[in-house]
């Protein structure tokens, strides 16, 4: 079997290291290198992964079959356009852009080039998520009445400061966390009609200089089905928390209640670094990457989110910011 050629475009995202570790361990892949504008970050990433840093134009001359875009969000469009022109399929970190205009331009570039673009929503690959989706589709919970979701974490700007820089990330915790549960709602067949939100800064939670970034938030959604949903998207876990955070969702229907904890499987481990939770469940990132590699081989994905689904989830996020600024409900088309 001919190896699939993969490249990483930008490595500023905290997931880039984990992606690289999985990719380099696969015997059927040829990782041709990575592009990164920040020299210090590029040097560290090359040292940590063993991958070669190349200028973007040179990297794309290797004609990768697929690329992972893991840059700061504001740079996604530039990287995706370059990849599309080189004929590479794209898996883009979430959110796919900071504006709907950039997101649409990103989709258009790939459509015109005849390549596919996908959004990185690994939580879809959780067995618990797929079990809940099957139950909802089969009507086992009756008609959904309410969804209550939380996606909490330690503020990622302590690892990469750009996460709380609106000029690079488009926002803070809201941009980082609303999108996962918004996508799950869409994945379950729901569509968002109205959005109310309160997004607030918590200077104690973010890095110095980014005190005004939103770090706490609560979003209320009205759905076309008549159900309601809430999302707590806060960076509310302390840096001493035993893991990055969690994602949970309670669903109440006319015939039952189901609680989802996407990362429930873990062991309590105590070592020189203190107390930690070590996950032992399925590797959701690996499952997502494996399906993307299949796309690069010409296979049709079953769970991998499309670029359009990435845009749809981004629309909910941006509506939450508009609602928080105005204090009024925002209606989605």
Task: Please indicate whether residue 129 or residue 239 has the higher confidence score (pLDDT).
Answer: 129
Is the same domain home to 164 and 234?
Answer: yes
pTM of structure: 0.96
Return the CATH number at 261.
3.30.360.10
- Domain assignment of residue 220, yes or no: yes
Query: What does the alpha-carbon distance between residue 18 and residue 214 come to, in Å, rounded to a whole number?
Result: 26
pLDDT of residue 128: 96
> Which residues in 167-199 are b (16+ Cβ under 10 Å) and which e?
ebbbbbbbbbbbbbbbbbbbbbebebebbbbeb
Give the span between the Cα atoms of 291 and 299, in whole angstroms.
8
| C-alpha dihedral sign at 258, 263, 266, 269 | negative
Helix (H, G, I), strand (E, B) or coil at 110: helix
Crossing angle of helices 100-113 and 307-326, in 10° steps, is 170
Structural domains in the chain (count): 2
Distance CA 209, CA 159 (A): 15
Say which residue the tokens 């290198």 belong to: 33
- 275 and 185 housed in the same domain: yes
Residue 36, domain CATH: 3.40.50.720
Q: Considering 97, 119, 141, which residue would you say is the last residue of a domain?
A: 119
9-38: per-residue pLDDT in tens? 999 999 999 999 999 999 999 999 999 999
Tell me, yes or no, whether 110 and 135 share the same domain: no
Segments of the chain assigned E as strands: 4-9, 29-35, 66-69, 89-92, 117-119, 144-153, 192-201, 214-223, 228-232, 245-253, 256-261, 266-271, 274-279, 305-306, 330-331
Q: Which of 96-105, 233-242, 264-273 has the highest mean pLDDT?
A: 96-105
Q: Is residue 274 part of a domain?
A: yes
Mean pLDDT over 81-109 rounds to 99
pLDDT number for residue 248 = 97
Same domain, 197 and 73: no
Q: At residue 273, does pLDDT exceed 80?
A: no
The DSSP secondary-structure symbol of 322 reads H
* Residue numbers of the domain that contains 179: 124-282+307-331
Q: What pLDDT is recorded for position 266?
A: 74
One domain for residues 82 and 135: no
């Amino acid at each position: 079997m001919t190896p699939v050629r993969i490249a990483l475009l930008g490595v500023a995202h905290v997931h880039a290291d984990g992606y690289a570790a999985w990719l380099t361990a696969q015997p059927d892949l040829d990782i041709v290198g990575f592009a990164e504008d920040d020299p210090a970050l590029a040097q560290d990433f090359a040292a940590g992964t063993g991958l070669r840093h190349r200028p973007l134009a040179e990297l794309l001359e290797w004609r990768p079959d697929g690329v992972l875009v893991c840059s700061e969000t504001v740079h996604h469009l530039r990287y995706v356009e370059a990849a599309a022109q080189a004929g590479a399929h794209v898996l883009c970190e979430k959110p796919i852009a900071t504006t709907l205009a950039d997101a649409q331009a990103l989709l258009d570039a790939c459509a015109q080039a005849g390549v596919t673009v996908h959004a990185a929503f690994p939580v879809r690959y959780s067995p618990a998520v797929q079990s809940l989706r099957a139950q909802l589709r089969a009507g086992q919970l009756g008609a959904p009445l309410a969804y209550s979701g939380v996606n909490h974490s330690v503020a990622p700007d302590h690892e990469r400061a750009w996460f709380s820089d609106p000029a690079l990330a488009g926002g803070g915790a809201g941009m980082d966390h609303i999108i996962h549960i918004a996508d799950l709602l869409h994945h379950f067949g729901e569509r968002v009609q109205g959005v109310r939100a309160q997004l607030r800064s918590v200077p104690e939670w973010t890095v110095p200089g980014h005190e005004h970034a939103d770090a706490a938030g609560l979003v209320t959604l009205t759905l076309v089905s008549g159900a309601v949903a809430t999302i707590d998207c806060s960076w509310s876990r302390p840096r001493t928390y035993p893991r990055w955070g969690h994602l949970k969702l309670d669903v109440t229907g006319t015939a039952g209640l189901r609680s989802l904890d996407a990362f429930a499987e873990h062991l309590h481990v105590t070592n020189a670094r203190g107390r930690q939770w070590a996950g032992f469940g399925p590797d959701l990132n690996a499952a997502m990457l494996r399906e993307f590699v299949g796309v690069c081989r010409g296979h049709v994905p079953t769970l991998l989110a499309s670029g359009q689904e990435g845009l749809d989830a981004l629309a909910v996020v941006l509506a939450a910011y508009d609602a928080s600024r105005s204090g009024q409900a925002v209606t989605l088309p």
